[in-house]
Amino acid sequence: MKDVRLMKGNEAIAEGAIRAGCDGYFGYPITPQSEVLEYLMANKTKERTGMIVLQAESEVASIHMVYGGAAAGKRVMTSSSSPGISLMQEGISFMAGTELPCLLLNVVRGGPGLGTIQPSQADYFQAVKGGGHGDYKMIVLAPASVQEMYDFAKLGFDLAFKHRIQVMVLSDGAIGQMMEKVELDDERPRWTDEEIVKMHTWAATGKTKNRERNIITSLDLNPVKQEIINRKLQAKFRKIEETEVRFETIQCEDAEYLFVAYGSSARVCQKAVQLGRAKGIKVGLLRPITLFPFPYKEVKRLAKQVKGIQCIEMSAGQMIEDVRLGVEGIVGVEHYGRLGGIIPAPDEVLNVLEQNFIKAKIYERTH
């Protein structure tokens, strides 16, 4: 019989991490994601799977604990919300420079500054374009349901180790806090120390006689060597762009108008597609699941098909820049967003699409 439970998004990713064989969680409380740490503590993970859970003194310490654990080849993770993720950028950049795998969760709240504790998507640039210093990318997964919060723990760890990269689950306060049914899969055992030594030959686990020492560092004072390191990183990102794009299309086959939205906004748009179709508007939805790598090709393919693209974000317009890069000017692209922690309503976003592309007829297909 299937193991189905009613869970909060934050609880689901915590349970997902346990079942994905996570070795360590290091975190610091912040609304709206504290349930992750609370759930892990309440579940006595050390007794259940041997997973270590530690409440650190700060987000800065949390990410550097993750950095330490990841360097030793373990599956480690942390979670936070916007201001806390800002604090973690130092450690994330170090992990990028040392190519260490880890799972990061940002349950985004409104900003800038302390902002609000309500859901937002204003950390898109931070997550997708780098965030910390230096030329780097993380794989960014955008869940739109509690089930995906659960699923992306395992997927995130697997992608992280496949590419030796940091994977961020870019959620928001709505997905983190809401309850939905979740289908759970079987627990995957944690790696043994012996398996880690065998599989992750790069990990700093103690120098044995049969190998060179493993040094985890992002420093090279020789600029020629540093450029080579950077080019290697970039090659990895290009490979990820080729192989790891994930997205979902809803009613796009005959669509004349297109919503592009991720996460909570995509759920709103999914309802708006239904409302639009009921009114006879041929509207579809493209939901990017990976924000890096972004589904540029799919955006371009659909741009050739539709008369207008309406981006919906809970921000002042961040993802729209990637959409426009994909569209390459083929068709008009408009942004609509609510800020400060407000989720737009389905009729609201449908109305915007109609105003921008159907009633005003400002944007016609130009080719």
Partner 1 sequence: MSAPTREDICQLENEVYSRTTLLTPAPLSYCPGCGHGTAHRLIMEVVEEMNLQADTIGVAPVGCSVLAYDFMDIDMQQAAHGRAPAVATGIKRLYPNKFVFTYQGDGDLAAIGTGETIHACNRGENITIFFVNNGIYGMTGGQMAPTTLPNMKTSTSPFGRDVETMGYPLKITELIANLPGTYFVSRQSVHTAANVRKAKKAIEKAIQYQKLKKGLCFVEIVSNCNSGWKMTPLDSNKWMEENMFPFYPLGDIKVPK
Where does this chain bind partner 1 (CB under 8 A)? 23-24, 26, 52, 54, 56-58, 60-62, 64-72, 74, 76, 90-91, 94, 98, 193, 204-209, 213-219
Residue 349 CA to residue 364 CA, distance in Å, equals: 20
Minimum Å distance from CB 193 to partner 1?
7
Q: Tell me whether residue 23 or residue 322 sits nearer to partner 1 (CB atom).
A: 23
* Residue 91 vs 295, nearer CB to partner 1: 91
Written as one string, the DSSP assignment of 75-115 is -EEEEE-HHHHHHHHHHHHHHHHHT--EEEEEEEB--STT-
Sequence-distant (≥ 6) Cβ neighbours of residue 134 within 8 angstroms = 93, 96, 97
| H helix or E strand, kind and range, residue 9 | helix 9-19
52 vs 187: CA distance, rounded Å: 16
* Type of residue found at 10: N
Q: Smallest gap, in angstroms, from Cβ of residue 229 to partner 1?
A: 14
- In the bound state with partner 1, the residue whose beta carbon lies nearer, of 203 and 250, is 203
Query: Measured from the CB atom, is 52 or 342 closer to partner 1?
Result: 52
Nearest distance, CB of residue 2 and partner 1, angstroms: 32
CB of 128 to partner 1, least distance (A): 23
The residue among 107, 11, 14 whose CA lies nearest residue 59 is 107
Residue with Cβ nearer partner 1 (19 or 190): 190
Phi, psi torsion values for 85, nearest 5 degrees: -65, -35
Q: Nearer Cβ to partner 1, position 61 or 302?
A: 61
Least CB distance from residue 55 to partner 1, whole Å? 10
Calculate the CA 275 to chain-centre distance: 28
Pairwise CA distance, residues 168 & 305, whole Å:
32
In whole angstroms, how close is the CB of 37 to partner 1 at the nearest point? 15
